[in-house]
Amino acid sequence: MNQPAHSVQIKESEFYLEAYLDPFNKRIRIDDYRGNINLIIGKTEELCCRNQAEKLIIKGRKEDLFQFFEHGLVLEAIVDRYFLGSDAYFFTKYYSNDRRCNDHWIAEDGIIHSIFQSDPSSLITKPPQDYILKKVDERDAGELAALYRDVFQIYPTPLFDVEYVKKTMEEGTVYYGFFYKGKIVSAASAEINDFYKNAELTDCATRKEHRKYGLMKLILLELERELKHRGIFCTYSIARSLSFGMNAVLFQLGFHYRGRLMNNCYIYDKLENMNIWVKNLASC
Structurally, the chain folds into a number of domains equal to 2
Name all contacts of 46-53 with Cβ < 8 Å and 24+ positions apart: 47/19, 47/21, 48/93, 48/95, 49/95, 51/1, 51/21, 51/23, 52/1, 52/26, 53/1, 53/26, 53/27, 53/28, 53/95
Residues 71 and 206 occupy one common structural domain:
no
Cβ–Cβ < 8 Å for 73, 91? yes
How far, in Å, CA of 245 to CA of 279, rounded? 18
Residues 171 and 68 occupy one common structural domain:
no
Residues 251 and 129 occupy one common structural domain:
yes
Rg (CA), the chain: 19
Give the amino acid at 238: I
Q: What is the pLDDT of residue 120?
A: 80
Question: Which sign does the torsion angle of CA 247, 251, 255, 256 carry?
Answer: positive
Mean pLDDT of the chain: 96
Instruction: State mean pLDDT over 103-122.
Output: 92
Residues 63 and 125 occupy one common structural domain:
no
CB-based contacts of 53, cutoff 8 Å, min separation 6: 1, 26, 27, 28, 47, 95
Task: Using the 3D structure, point to which of 100, 135, 157 is the last residue of a domain.
Answer: 100
Q: What is the pLDDT of residue 125?
A: 86
Residues 129 and 257 occupy one common structural domain:
yes
- The DSSP bridge partners found for residue 238 are 276
User: 276: domain range?
Assistant: 105-283
Structure confidence by residue, pLDDT tens digits, 155-204: 999 999 999 999 999 999 999 999 999 999 999 999 999 999 999 999 99
How far, in Å, CA of 218 to CA of 139, rounded? 22
Residues 114 and 96 occupy one common structural domain:
no
Phi-psi region of 112 (alpha: psi -120 to 50; beta: other; left: phi over 0): alpha
CATH number of the domain residue 25 falls in: 3.40.630.30
Q: What is the pLDDT of residue 1?
A: 46
Instruction: Give the residue ranges of DSSP H helices in the chain.
Output: 37-50, 65-70, 97-100, 105-117, 141-151, 162-170, 215-229, 244-252
Question: Which sign does the torsion angle of CA 240, 245, 250, 251 carry?
Answer: positive
Task: Using the 3D structure, point to which of 41, 73, 100 is the last residue of a domain.
Answer: 100
How far, in Å, CA of 262 to CA of 206, rounded? 25
> At residue 53, what are phi and psi to the nearest 5 degrees?
-75, 145
Task: Report the relative pairing of strands 234-240 and 198-206 from DSSP bridges.
Answer: parallel
Structure confidence by residue, pLDDT tens digits, 19-67: 999 999 999 999 999 999 999 999 999 999 999 999 999 999 999 999 9
Structure confidence by residue, pLDDT tens digits, 128-155: 999 999 999 999 999 999 999 999 999 9
How far, in Å, CA of 278 to CA of 82, rounded? 10
How far, in Å, CA of 217 to CA of 263, rounded? 26
Instruction: State mean pLDDT over 67-79.
Output: 97
pLDDT at 233 over 70: yes
Instruction: State mean pLDDT over 222-228.
Output: 98
Task: Using the 3D structure, point to which of 34, 66, 100 is the last residue of a domain.
Answer: 100
pLDDT band at 269 (very low <50, low <70, confident <90, very high): confident
pLDDT band at 2 (very low <50, low <70, confident <90, very high): low
Q: Model-level pTM?
A: 0.95
